[in-house]
Amino acid sequence: MKPAREVRAFADRLGHEFRRPALLIEALTHASIAGPTRPDNQRLEFLGDRVLGLVMAEALVATDPAAREGQLAPRLNALVRKETCAEIAREIGLGDVLKLGRSEMLTGGRRKEALLGDAMEAVIAAVHLDAGFEAARTLVLRLWGPRLARVEHTPPDAKTALQERVQAEGQAPPAYAEVARSGPDHAPRFVIEVRLESGETARAEAGSKRAAEQGAAAAMLSWLGAGADG
């Protein structure tokens, strides 16, 4: 399969010349437009997530040999979470070359965090399958390098911050549950509730479960802060 001009330009931005261009096409294909002869990027996203995690874990260990597991884990989470993958996808213009169905196109799919994050992981897997782990490692370290250098000073996301707080207090990790869903399939809204072992709850609504969970965690942190002040 010969890629279109914009896809070839994207490969140039990646700095990788694909021997099997079909892998890149697959990495950029969302399920909304996939079919029997056009596989979507979900399998590649699964693999790319693991490749990214290994590369970042190795880099963190090498960068700070004295860091303990409890210090490394939140740094790793900050580097591999979907939000970070989506940020990097935006930086390299990945959204411009995503292959989407009409419904996703109409609802701003090229800007959606989940779609961008998944596609970024799929692209990593495509490079890995095309040229091996070292090629994927080189790509990841180049794209993630600035964030790797400053991750020690990056504040944790709301979910991580909440989990660290309650576990420091001797509680079990927070539990998240979907309590409501509304809207059409192409533009859903989710209400997520977070519950602590001590009984406190907080809710948030967003266009993805991941964002709603982060919102609920932020709401709980805000409430706990207010409670501590009061």
More confident residue, 64 or 226: 64
DSSP state of 97: G
Catalytic residue status for 121: yes
Total-model pTM: 0.73
Catalytic residue status for 49: yes
pLDDT, residue 193, reads 96
Classify domain 5-153 by CATH architecture.
Orthogonal Bundle (1.10)
The residue extents of the domains of the chain are 5-153, 158-229
Residue 160 has pLDDT above 70, yes or no: yes
Give the mean pLDDT of the chain: 89
Q: Using 50, 70 and 90 to split pLDDT, how confident is the model at 230?
A: very low
> What is the rounded distance in angstroms from the CA atom of residue 151 to the CA atom of residue 182?
36
Return the sign of the alpha-carbon dihedral for residues 36, 38, 40, 44.
positive
Residue 127 has pLDDT above 50, yes or no: yes
Q: Which of 26, 40, 104, 121 is catalytic?
A: 121
Across residues 17-32, what is the average pLDDT? 93
What are 34-89's pLDDT values in tens digits? 778 889 999 999 999 999 999 999 999 998 888 888 788 888 988 998 889 999 99
Tokens of 83: 């939000």
Q: Which of 49, 113, 118, 130 is catalytic?
A: 49
- Do the first three CATH levels of 5-153 and 158-229 match, i.e. the same topology? no
Among 3.30.160.20, 3.40.50.720, 3.90.1150.10, 3.30.465.10, what is the CATH number of 158-229? 3.30.160.20
